[in-house]
Amino acid sequence: MPQPTQQSVILLSSAAHTATPLVGPPNQIPVNEYPFLTNIPRFTGAHIIFDVTAIVDTPSVVVTMDGFDFGSETWYNLLTSAAVVGASLNVYKIHPDFTAVANLVAKEGIPYLWRVILTHADADSITYSLGVNYLD
Amino acid sequence: MVPTGGAIRSVSGDDFAQTIESNTRLTSGDALVEWQDEFITDPASGLRSVWEAQVVTVEAANTGAYGNGNAAEVTAPAGESRKRMTVIDSFGSFAQTRVYYDLAIDVLPAVGDDVFMVGHRITGSAGSENGYIVVWNAKLTNNVLVYRLVAGVETLLATETAGPQIAADKAYVAAVEIINLGGNRVEIRTAIWDAKLEVEGPNWDTVLVDNNPSSIKTEGQCGFAAPDTVAVQLRSAVKGPVCINMWGITDLDFESTDGAIDVNQTLRTDVSGAYGFLEVPTPNFTGLSVGTLTARATDAFDEYTRNFELDPNPPVTGTGGGGVVDGTFDVDQTVQVTNSQQGGGQGGGSQGGGVINLPPQGGGPFSVTMSIEGYDFASTKWYLILEATEITAGNTNRRLVVAPGISDVSNLAANDGLPYMWRLNMVHGNAAAVVYSAEFKR
């Protein structure tokens, strides 16, 4: 099996979580209090795959994808998922040529700096992985 | 008056009766509009029209030497409107064929009028001649362009452009009648008769073109189409001899495209057998041409062609694990592709597609469904991007196209992107052996 490259990124291998994880290593970008990715070499869009394989009790996770504005040093929202509450393979899509679908597809471009936040609604355990496939 | 949706049929001539019969038959005493003339040497000046007549006699078949099965010529009642017209013709076999039939309309139908008319003409004593566009039982409301074709000259009779109005069960619109005059025999061949619009109003269809197609093949209904044949009105101005017996139609072009295809060239036709081939210009520079041919229907000719289909294209060599499967299979097969050229402004990496071709098959029932899936390294799972419809018969192919920005077409095209690793997945529904080849294109 080919290994992932900069075109396909493993943000989180499958593991159980009870709280919002940081995704991606912090670096010189002064926004390291949040998980983020750097879009090199400048892909246009992405598939974000959030695969939930097991739950305990009633967890709920919302996937939020944001871009970063260096001028204002603020994050702006690209796409926010519906709450994921059970085992499922969820693919969110971002691309300027796509047709927007609420909570699933954003007609947006991937900026240089962006992030994925997995916001847990409670402390119930949920096992998931998070991957990104960049698109031209 | 001719009743709405009512009876129109040929009252003479076996061939003709076969082609224009519609709905229910007239009986003596029914109101109709009739025009007939047997020996008109100059159709331009010799047209006669009679309307608001009544059937005097209905003959079961033509028995006259000149095909005058229903020769009763009637005149129009004074002051009657000419908006409704039915042409009832009669003819048969002729030793010296010199018969003209034509359609005369003195008052154009108005929006909302039911129009019953048949227009056609035969000239000469040998060889092939043009047929006329036939507008049959059409309700002139919207998006119907009605033409009359006389001596190769089209005359627009009515144009409606806005909104869906054609009743789904009465949209017998704009069939084209092909007349072949061979020797002393008159034949009438109808490409699509009683064509029924698939949906009301603007009825667009698309053609997906991928990967440098050298040609697209029309699969029109070339002659002897059965009543109620569903005519898919393509966004194409099909004016070429798309089948061997469509002599009267010339020129062919596509008007526009949504995709990468440059269609600023005239598409050509090649009359061959029962098919015509429309040449498509070389696609864009990326070597990948994903687009939607969207030539717009401009007149009744469109009813001729039910669909377009790409000719098989040569396989395209990919990178990584890409390739082709070709053989006899009874278990799932995959064609895996790695987009190593993706990203960094190199372009083209996220668009592509696949095709599966099945030759005629023997053996028992089988089922194969092809899909395009992307791979997620984090979960080590494949996720669905696009799936074709199931194949259960041989001599079939399915094509899938994925590209950002194209129009979604169910089971055919997805406005989506292909990730770094993706595959064609051929899922077998049972253990029956199936012969096919499948390949990806990007």
Q: What does pLDDT average to over chain B?
A: 44
Assign residue B402 a region (left: φ > 0; alpha: ψ between -120 and 50; beta: otherwise).
beta
Please list every residue in chain B whose beta carbon sits closer than 8 Å to the beta carbon of residue A48.
none
Q: Is the pLDDT of residue A21 over 60?
A: yes
Phi, psi of B22 (to 5 degrees): -150, 140
B410 near A CB under 8 A: no
Chain B: nearest CA to A121, how far in angstroms?
23
Lowest mean pLDDT among A83-97, B105-119, B287-301: B287-301
Cβ contacts of B319 within 8 Å, gap of 6 or more: B337, B338, B339, B340, B341
Instruction: Give the Cα separation of B348 and B316 in Å (integer).
Output: 14
Q: How far off is chain A from B275, nearest CA to CA, in Å?
A: 36
The reply to whether residue B419 touches residue A135, judged by beta carbons under 8 angstroms, is yes
Residue A110 forms contact with B (CB below 8 Å): no
Is the confidence at residue B428, as pLDDT, over 90? Answer: no
- Report how many Cβ contacts below 8 Å link chain A to chain B: 114
- Mutation test of the interface with chain B: which of A1, A3, A7, choosing the one with the most B Cβ atoms within 10 A? A7
Could you read off the pLDDT of B257-272 as tens digits, one per residue?
222 222 222 222 222 2
Q: CA geometry: angle at A6 spanning A5 and A12, to 5°?
A: 80
Query: Tokens 């070597």 identify what position?
Result: B287
pLDDT exceeds 50 at position B434: yes
Q: Which of B343, B379, B383 sits opposite A7 (nearest CB)?
A: B343
Closest CA to B211 of B291, B123, B152: B291
Alpha carbon of B6 to those of B80, B116, B136: distances in Å? 19, 9, 11
CB atoms B344 and A41 under 8 Å: yes
pLDDT single digits (tens) A72-98: 878 889 999 999 999 999 999 999 989
pLDDT level of residue B325 (50, 70, 90 thresholds) = confident
CATH 2.60.120 in chain B, residue ranges: 324-441
What confidence score (pLDDT) does residue A37 get?
59
Higher pLDDT, B90 or B403: B403
Selected residue with higher pLDDT from B409 and A27: B409
Q: Can you list the domains of chain A with their CATH numbers?
A: 8-135 (2.60.120.1110)
Which pair of tokens denotes residue A98?
């796509």
User: Does B417 contact A at CB distance below 8 Å?
Assistant: yes
Given this model, what pLDDT does residue B359 score? Answer: 81
Q: List all residues of chain B from 367 to 396 with a beta carbon under 8 Å from chain A.
A: 374-381, 383
ipTM above 0.90, yes or no: no
Contact: A44, B421; criterion CB under 8 Å: no
Total length of chain A? 136
C-alpha B291/C-alpha B300 separation (Å) is 25
The pLDDT value given to residue A57: 95
Average pLDDT value for chain A: 82
- The residue of chain B with its CA nearest to that of A109 is B404
Res. B442 pLDDT band, cuts 50 70 90: low
Q: How is residue A11 written in tokens?
A: 């943000």
Name the β-bridge partners of B439. Answer: B324, B355
Q: How many CB atoms lie within 10 A of CB B360?
A: 9
Q: Which amino acid is at B313?
A: N
pLDDT > 90 in chain B, percent: 4
pLDDT surpasses 60 at B411: yes
Q: Which residues contact B154 (CB under 8 A, 6 or more apart)?
A: B147, B148, B299
* Chain B interface test: which of A1, A3, A6, A8 (most B C-beta within 10 Å): A8
Q: SS3 of B230, please?
A: strand
* Most confident of the following: A5-19, B213-227, B264-278: A5-19
In three-state secondary structure terms, B196 is strand
Residue A129 — very low, low, confident or very high, per pLDDT cuts 50/70/90?
very high
The beta-carbon neighbor of B415 closest among A8, A98, A131 is: A98
Q: Does any CB of chain B come closer than 8 Å to the CB of residue A107?
A: no
A window 24-83, beta carbon within 8 A of B: 41-45, 47, 49, 51, 53
CA distance A12 to A118: 11
**Residue B24: pLDDT band by 50, 70, 90 thresholds?**
very low
- In chain B, the percentage of residues whose pLDDT exceeds 70 is 23
Q: Both tokens of residue A88?
A: 């499922």
pTM of the model: 0.47
Selection from B202, B200, B195 nearest residue B172 by Cα: B195
The model's confidence at residue B113, banded by pLDDT at 50, 70 and 90, is very low
CA–CA separation, A40 and B433 (whole Å): 46
Higher pLDDT, B114 or A80: A80
The strand pairing partners of B335, in sequence order, are B424
| Over residues B63-69, mean pLDDT | 31
Written as one string, the DSSP assignment of A34-75 is S--EE-TT--SEEEEEEEEEEESSS--EEEEEEEEETTTTEE
Peptide bond into B360 cis (omega under 30): no
Looking at per-residue pLDDT, the higher value among B398 and B208 belongs to B398
Query: Å from B254 to nearest chain A CA?
Result: 24
Whether the CB-CB separation of B304 and B272 falls below 8 Å is answered with: no
Say if the Cβ atoms of A13 and B419 lie within 8 Å: no
**B177-197 confidence digits (pLDDT tens):** 323 333 332 222 222 222 222
By the CB < 8 Å criterion, does B338 face chain A?
Answer: yes
What is the CATH code for B324-441?
2.60.120
Confidence tier at B8 by pLDDT (50, 70, 90): very low
User: Would the pLDDT of A111 be above 70?
Assistant: yes
Q: Rounded distance, CA B223 to CA A85, Å?
A: 58
Q: Which of A101-110, B31-40, B405-414 shows the lowest per-residue confidence on average (mean pLDDT)?
A: B31-40
The string of pLDDT tens digits covering residues A101-110 is 999 999 999 8
**Terminal CA-to-CA distance of chain B, rounded, Å?**
60
Note the pLDDT tens digit of each residue in B124-176: 333 333 333 333 333 333 333 444 434 444 445 444 332 223 333 222 222 22
A136 vs B343, B378, B416: nearest CB: B343
Distance, CA of B71 to CA of B35 (rounded, Å) = 10
The pLDDT assigned to A128 comes to 94
Option in A3, A129, A134 nearest B343 (CB): A134
Interface contact B334, partner A, CB < 8 A: no
Inter-residue long-range contacts of A23-32, CB under 8 Å, 24+ positions, other chains counted: A23/A115, A23/A116, A23/A117, A23/A118, A23/A130, A24/A115, A29/A68, A29/A113, A30/A73, A31/A68, A31/A73, A31/A75, A31/A113
Coil vs helix vs strand at B301: helix
Give the E-state strand segments of B314-407 in sequence order. Answer: 324-329, 333-338, 352-358, 368-376, 381-387, 396-403
Strand B207-209 with B230-231, pairing? unpaired
CA nearest B408 in A: which residue?
A99
